[in-house]
């Protein structure tokens, strides 16, 4: 039974674009590249949002095998974010299936005996497209029966030579992820073999890429390889040349081969980095960013989920302490910890995208996201037709002190039983109450202000607490009135709903301030 094929044949525009990356039509067809629609692309990468997922699907086929292991997607229109200098940067251009281990990319149709033939050097680069360009270079101007100049191998990301390889017991007896070299790397013969690492030109300017190259060198040297670094020219302002595929199209094969001839033997034993450097390198999977207000944040991997923390927070300090303790068997020095956080802050400010952080409710791509605020950092994603619980939303939520978790929603519920627990009175009041609840989970205003009036003992406070618990539960659900605009603003910044109790009257300044909040007006403090 033949394996189903994804998508459709590439278009003429696709072939022209690939040729600009030094990939021929014949090579693209050999590699089984296919054009996929937005629906099929979203299915490949496990997405259900309103993002754009049309693009080219790359089939991962191991040499000597006839089945496709996975498909990875190169998106036509990835999101755009801007760096500290205002330059646009594409985000998540390449996506793979969720929850899968890291794989090596080798051009489909490669002869399996090349995996173990140490006479043929190996090149390691970033991404499938660059791997295809290097595959073409490996056979440029050679006869059909000759061995290729090298075997082109691609990583899905500069750190993707590492991955989860199993579980080990932690200090408390719980199962923890164990990381190490991915299984695909051990399916090639390295001992006595020359290896060229050909990372992008930003290896000169991006410390994470540089650290990945050094760590990969150490690992390959332990396997017996002779490692060389092929240094692409440093990127220039305004140039689009970053990867070896761009360089091959711009320079041609002869000049690029000269870079291989000029490659430097990589240092076999990296000098022991300082504790601060080690801490920074342990953050290879941390996504750094800054807010529009200039605050530095990190999106940290914790167990099976990710968490958003301000870099100058106890949460990040504790995470770094735990990482270092697991790696070195001892805690880092306090000075090293502060230096590492300072270096991470600099990276977040000057090398990372600007992303807003939100509390409880957000909007992205026409969908609404509600932070359940539970220990797994789960989020409810709501579309016009359905909802689902996801662990890794496209927005960043922060947690403030006193926030409590919402229960995980279940299908088939009803709002009707709520009426039994609140003294809402007439049907008209019940409709107003429901309207407020719906508006309270909208990501943008204007918002209605719910006013609860009644005699003493009519359960106004109880009703306010119950309604808040449905949307934004906190330790102190109702508070005394604020004394100033500043107090009100602090409360609004740190919670999604603000609720005040026992107001015998509202002063003019507070009435105006609440109206500004409800309609999206601004404050200056």
Is the pLDDT assigned to residue 3 strictly greater than 90? Answer: no
pLDDT category at 168 given cuts 50, 70, 90 is low
509: in domain: yes
Cα angle 262, 265, 269 (rounded to 5 degrees) comes to 160
Query: 408-466, pLDDT tens digit by residue?
Result: 998 888 889 999 888 888 999 999 999 999 999 999 889 999 988 888 888 888 898 99
Is the pLDDT assigned to residue 399 strictly greater than 50? Answer: yes
pLDDT of amino acid 454: 83
pLDDT of amino acid 142: 86
In this structure, the answer to whether residues 343 and 206 fall within a common structural domain is: no
pLDDT of amino acid 139: 93
In this structure, the answer to whether residues 252 and 292 fall within a common structural domain is: no
Domain CATH number, residue 222: 3.40.1360.10
Query: Considering only CA atoms, which of 152, 179, 172, 394 is closest in space to residue 256?
Result: 152
pLDDT of amino acid 404: 93
* C-beta of residue 320 within 8 angstroms of C-beta of residue 341: yes
In this structure, the answer to whether residues 111 and 244 fall within a common structural domain is: yes
Query: 103-160, pLDDT tens digit by residue?
Result: 999 999 999 999 999 999 999 999 999 999 999 999 998 876 779 999 999 999 898 9
pLDDT of amino acid 525: 47
More confident residue, 451 or 235: 451
In this structure, the answer to whether residues 78 and 132 fall within a common structural domain is: yes
Is the pLDDT assigned to residue 166 strictly greater than 80? Answer: no
Query: 296-317, pLDDT tens digit by residue?
Result: 999 998 877 899 999 999 999 9
pLDDT of amino acid 140: 93
In this structure, the answer to whether residues 386 and 466 fall within a common structural domain is: no
**Could you tell me the end-to-end alpha-carbon distance of the chain, in angstroms, rounded to an integer?**
69
* C-beta of residue 436 within 8 angstroms of C-beta of residue 424: no
Residue 211 phi/psi, 5° resolution?
Answer: -65, -40
Torsion sign over Cα 465, 468, 474, 480: negative
Query: Considering only CA atoms, which of 447, 345, 350 is closest in space to residue 85?
Result: 350
Is the pLDDT assigned to residue 238 strictly greater than 60? Answer: no
Is the pLDDT assigned to residue 346 strictly greater than 70? Answer: yes
In this structure, the answer to whether residues 136 and 52 fall within a common structural domain is: yes
Task: Please state the rounded mean pLDDT for residues 473-484.
Answer: 87
In this structure, the answer to whether residues 237 and 377 fall within a common structural domain is: no
489: in domain: yes
Q: In the chain, how many domains are there?
A: 4
338: in domain: yes
Contacts of 132 (CB under 8 A, 6+ apart): 23, 27, 28, 31, 107, 152, 245
Task: Please state the rounded mean pLDDT for residues 311-324.
Answer: 91
pLDDT of amino acid 15: 96
372: in domain: yes
Residue 193 CA to residue 190 CA, distance in Å, equals: 5
In this structure, the answer to whether residues 441 and 372 fall within a common structural domain is: no
1: in domain: no
499: in domain: yes
Query: 361-379, pLDDT tens digit by residue?
Result: 999 989 999 999 999 999 9
Domain span including residue 104 = 12-160+193-265
Q: Name the H helices within 38-156.
A: 38-45, 128-138
pLDDT of amino acid 151: 97
The pTM of this model reads: 0.63
Residue 109 CA to residue 96 CA, distance in Å, equals: 21
Residue 403 phi/psi, 5° resolution?
Answer: -70, 145
For the chain, the average pLDDT equals: 88
169: in domain: no
pLDDT of amino acid 18: 95
pLDDT of amino acid 469: 92
Residue 108 CA to residue 66 CA, distance in Å, equals: 9
Is the pLDDT assigned to residue 1 strictly greater than 50? Answer: no
pLDDT of amino acid 36: 95
In this structure, the answer to whether residues 37 and 99 fall within a common structural domain is: yes
* C-beta of residue 344 within 8 angstroms of C-beta of residue 288: yes
pLDDT of amino acid 403: 92
pLDDT category at 255 given cuts 50, 70, 90 is very high
Give the range among 87-96, 136-145, 157-166, 254-263 with minimum mean pLDDT.
Answer: 87-96
Instruction: Report residue 524 as tokens.
Output: 């200056």
In this structure, the answer to whether residues 290 and 214 fall within a common structural domain is: no
Query: Considering only CA atoms, which of 26, 132, 42 is closest in space to residue 367?
Result: 42
Is the pLDDT assigned to residue 85 strictly greater than 70? Answer: no
In this structure, the answer to whether residues 90 and 127 fall within a common structural domain is: yes
Is the pLDDT assigned to residue 489 strictly greater than 60? Answer: yes
DSSP, collapsed to helix, strand or coil, labels residue 40 as helix
Q: Residue 519, class by beta-carbon neighbours within 10 Å (0-12 exposed, 13-18 middle, 19+ buried)?
A: exposed
Greatest Cα pair distance, the chain, in angstroms, is 95
Is the pLDDT assigned to residue 476 strictly greater than 90? Answer: no
In this structure, the answer to whether residues 217 and 286 fall within a common structural domain is: no
524: in domain: no
């Amino acid at each position: 039974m033949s394996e189903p094929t994804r998508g459709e044949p590439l278009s003429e525009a696709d072939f022209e674009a690939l040729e600009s990356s030094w990939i021929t039509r014949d090579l693209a067809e050999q590699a089984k590249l296919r054009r996929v629609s937005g629906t099929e692309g979203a299915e490949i990468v496990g997405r259900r949002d309103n993002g754009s997922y049309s693009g080219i699907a790359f089939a991962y086929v191991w040499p000597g095998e006839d089945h496709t292991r996975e498909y990875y997607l190169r998106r036509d229109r990835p999101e755009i974010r801007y760096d500290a200098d205002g330059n646009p940067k594409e985000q998540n251009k390449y996506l793979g299936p969720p929850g899968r281990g890291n794989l090596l990319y080798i051009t489909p149709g490669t002869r399996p005996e090349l995996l173990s033939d140490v006479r043929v050097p190996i090149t390691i680069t970033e991404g499938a497209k660059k791997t295809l360009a290097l595959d073409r270079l490996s056979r440029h101007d050679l006869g059909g029966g000759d061995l290729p100049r090298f075997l082109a191998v691609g990583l899905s990301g500069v750190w993707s030579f590492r991955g989860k390889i199993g579980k080990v017991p932690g200090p408390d007896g719980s199962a923890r992820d164990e990381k190490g070299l991915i299984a695909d790397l051990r399916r090639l013969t390295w001992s006595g073999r020359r290896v060229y690492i050909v990372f992008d030109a930003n290896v000169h300017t991006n410390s994470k890429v540089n650290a990945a190259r050094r760590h990969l060198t150490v690992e390959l040297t332990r396997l017996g390889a002779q490692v060389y670094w092929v240094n692409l020219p440093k990127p220039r302002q305004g140039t689009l040349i970053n990867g070896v595929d761009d360089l091959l199209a711009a320079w041609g094969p002869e000049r690029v081969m000269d870079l291989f001839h000029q490659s430097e033997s990589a240092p076999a034993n990296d000098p022991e980095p300082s504790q601060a450097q080690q801490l920074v390198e342990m953050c290879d999977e941390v996504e750094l960013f800054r807010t529009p207000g200039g605050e530095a944040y990190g999106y940290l991997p914790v167990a099976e989920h990710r968490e958003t923390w301000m870099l100058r927070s106890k949460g990040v300090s504790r995470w770094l302490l735990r990482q270092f303790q697991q790696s070195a068997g001892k805690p880092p020095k306090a000075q090293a910890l502060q230096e590492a956080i300072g270096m991470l802050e600099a990276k977040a400010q000057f090398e990372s995208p600007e992303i807003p952080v939100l509390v409880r409710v957000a909007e992205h791509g026409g969908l609404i996201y509600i932070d359940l605020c539970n220990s797994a950092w789960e989020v409810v994603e709501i579309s016009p037709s359905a909802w689902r619980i996801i662990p890794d939303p496209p927005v960043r939520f922060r947690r403030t002190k006193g926030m409590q978790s919402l229960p995980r929603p279940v299908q088939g519920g009803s709002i009707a039983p709520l009426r039994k627990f609140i003294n809402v009175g007439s049907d008209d009041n019940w409709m107003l109450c429901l309207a407020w609840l719906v508006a309270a989970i909208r990501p943008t205003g204007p918002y209605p202000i719910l006013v609860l009036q009644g005699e003493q003992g009519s359960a106004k406070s109880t009703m306010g607490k119950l309604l808040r618990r449905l949307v934004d539960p906190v330790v102190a659900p109702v508070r005394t009135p604020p004394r100033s605009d500043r107090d009100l603003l602090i409360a609004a910044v740190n919670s999604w709903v603000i609720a005040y109790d026992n107001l015998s009257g509202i002063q003019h300044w507070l009435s105006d301030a609440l109206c500004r909040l409800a309609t999206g007006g601004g404050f200056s403090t």
